[in-house]
């Protein structure tokens, strides 16, 4: 999936929100290979979103309401999408989301807004 995400056109970024839950849950799998693949996918999605473009929210499953605005793709927007998992129904999803956010902060620490690590 990471190879497919890396090849997405900038006008096809509406696919990413649909992949986030599976990638996030994959970070808690028992298999080391599966966890690594999930983290690689999350980082690939973050890099794709950081590259710019538009997320057509009207094309995302469950967001077809009239008048919904498109979002500019950015790492901040991606972090917001991933953080939606904190409202998950299960402790497993919430824990996986925290794990994914931790990895994203580590990977993109110099590019998320004006956030800078304390030295």
Instruction: Give the pLDDT score at 119.
Output: 45
Question: Could you tell me if residue 92 is inside a domain?
Answer: yes
pLDDT tier for residue 111 given thresholds of 50, 70 and 90: confident
Instruction: Inform me whether the pLDDT recorded for 2 exceeds 50.
Output: yes
Question: How many residues belong to the chain?
Answer: 119
Question: Could you tell me if residue 1 is inside a domain?
Answer: no
Domain boundaries, position 38: 32-60+67-107
Question: Could you tell me if residue 114 is inside a domain?
Answer: no
Instruction: Give the pLDDT score at 109.
Output: 86
Beta-carbon contacts of 94 under 8 Å, excluding residues fewer than 6 positions away, are: 85, 86, 88
Instruction: Give the pLDDT score at 112.
Output: 66
pLDDT of 45-86, one tens digit each?
Answer: 999 999 988 888 777 766 656 557 888 999 999 999 999 999
Question: Could you tell me if residue 16 is inside a domain?
Answer: no
Question: Could you tell me if residue 18 is inside a domain?
Answer: no
pTM, whole model, 2 decimals?
A: 0.84
Half-sphere exposure of 104 (CA within 13 A, CB side): 31
Q: What is the dihedral of CA 90, 74, 111, 107, to 10 degrees?
A: 40
Question: Which two three-digit tokens encode residue 116?
Answer: 């800078």
């Amino acid at each position: 999936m990471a190879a497919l995400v890396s090849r997405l056109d900038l006008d096809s970024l509406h696919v990413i929100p649909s992949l986030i839950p599976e990638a996030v849950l994959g970070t808690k799998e028992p298999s080391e290979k599966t966890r690594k693949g999930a983290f690689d996918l999350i980082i690939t999605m973050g890099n794709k979103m950081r590259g710019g473009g538009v997320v057509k929210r009207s094309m995302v499953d469950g967001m077809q309401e009239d008048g919904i605005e498109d979002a500019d793709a950015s790492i901040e927007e991606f972090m917001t999408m991933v953080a939606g998992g904190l409202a998950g129904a299960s402790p497993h999803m919430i824990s996986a989301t925290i794990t994914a956010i931790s990895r994203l902060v580590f990977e993109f620490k110099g590019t998320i807004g004006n956030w800078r690590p304390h030295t």
